[in-house]
Amino acid sequence: MRRFLSLTVPLALLACNGSPPQPAEKGTKPAPTPGASATPLADTGTVPHPTKLRGFGNWVAGCDNGATCQAGSLAPEDGDPPALMLSIERAAGPDGAVAIRLRGVTLPALPLTAAIDGEAVARGGTADDDAVTLGGAPALALAQRMAQGGTLTITDATGATAATLSMKGAAAALRWIDAAQGRDGTTGALVAKGARPDTRPAPALPVVRAPVVRGESALLDPLLVTRMRAKADCDGDDLPDVTTKPLGNGRTLAIVPCSLGAYNLLSALFVVERGEATLAAFEAEPGGDSGGDTSLAFNASFADGILETNALGRGLGDCGVRQRYAWDGSRFRLIEQREMDDCRGNADFIRTWVARLIR
């Protein structure tokens, strides 16, 4: 199985063939952090420091800076991958809620039944476009039982087996999450239970203030496009057209394709104002490394003041780095980062950084 290299190592992406609130969805604002003070008016100016993922056998785990943690199943190093991949996410704070998600090409007919070593533990589930989710008491019971078993079997509404997953490493991953959330030795732990009450509050999240972007994008002079491609040292001429988006205050974002691979389009980002173009500034560099002097964004898109990038480790989309940035009027600020280091079938990337976006 392929392992996706970390952000600090150049990625051979072009040629290879690999509770705190949830961050705001496109066009929305995140909910307040439970237990936190009233929404601060000031931008905290926090420098992003995404956390690292940890591997545990056929499982991987990680947490964001707000102590929301997630563990995910991985396909075995040898043999066929299971039909479904499973993720366990737990919110921070006292008695943080547990959600279990199942993803696959074909989702099981509901209600599903989850059994550990042949013993039924949970039943139910709700479905959306790409996942089945189990929440509440059934999800908590299943997560706790998974740490004690060897095999998880998922059956659909007809009783047919939808997937069989190895629990090798699940107990260690969940125990690591207990420690990361400060629950080890408490009544709220999933694995490392103890007598102490589960009272550790959720950490406050950093705040990024960014204006609502209004206006229209400018028409670009073809000579300016040529100069931008030259400045970014773009590869060849057979590239997609430049995309322009308004940044407000008479400025335009130019997304300039520079290099095209099998499943990654790398683009240089420029801010155009009064006919002049300067490379866009980033608080934290986009994921992936093109190997050149200019930072390039992978598979970039921009809407409503939010830039999204997606550096794919391989065409299946089960590894890489996904990021969301807010334009604050002078630079792009990282508001969310999700990662999956191992190219082993689980496309439910784990969040390693999050900030509250205030507009």
pLDDT digits (tens, 9 = 90+) for 110-156: 999 999 999 999 999 999 989 999 999 999 999 999 999 999 999 99
pLDDT value, residue 38: 56
- Reference 20, options 88, 89, 86, 73; nearest CA is 89
- In DSSP terms, 54 is beta-bridged to 61
Tokens representing 256 are 């300039």
Rounded Cα gap, residues 41 and 18, in angstroms: 42
Q: In the chain, where does DSSP find H-type helix?
A: 136-146, 170-180, 222-231
pLDDT value, residue 1: 56
Burial of 222-237, coded b for 16+ CB within 10 Å and e otherwise, reads eebbeebbeebebbee
Rounded Cα gap, residues 174 and 146, in angstroms: 9
Q: Supply the Cα-derived Rg of the chain in whole angstroms.
A: 22
Tokens representing 52 are 């690292």
Average pLDDT of each block of 10 consecutive residues along the chain (359 residues)?
Answer: 47 38 44 48 94 97 98 92 96 96 96 98 95 97 96 98 97 98 97 96 97 96 97 90 97 97 96 97 89 89 97 96 98 98 96 97
3-state secondary structure of 296: coil
Rounded Cα gap, residues 298 and 13, in angstroms: 10
- Reference 278, options 241, 330, 334, 327; nearest CA is 330
Say if CB 172 and CB 164 are below 8 A apart.
no
84 burial (CB, 10 Å; 0-12 / 13-18 / 19+) is buried
Rounded Cα gap, residues 175 and 254, in angstroms: 46
Rounded Cα gap, residues 327 and 334, in angstroms: 9
Rounded Cα gap, residues 359 and 333, in angstroms: 13
pLDDT value, residue 21: 43
Sequence letter at residue 11: L
pLDDT value, residue 293: 81
Say if CB 176 and CB 53 are below 8 A apart.
no
pLDDT value, residue 291: 65
3-state secondary structure of 36: coil
3-state secondary structure of 125: coil
Nearest-5° Cα angle at 170, 169 to 174: 120
- In DSSP terms, 243 is beta-bridged to 255
Summarize pLDDT for 16-59 with one digit per residue, the tens.
333 444 444 444 444 444 444 554 579 999 999 999 999 999 99
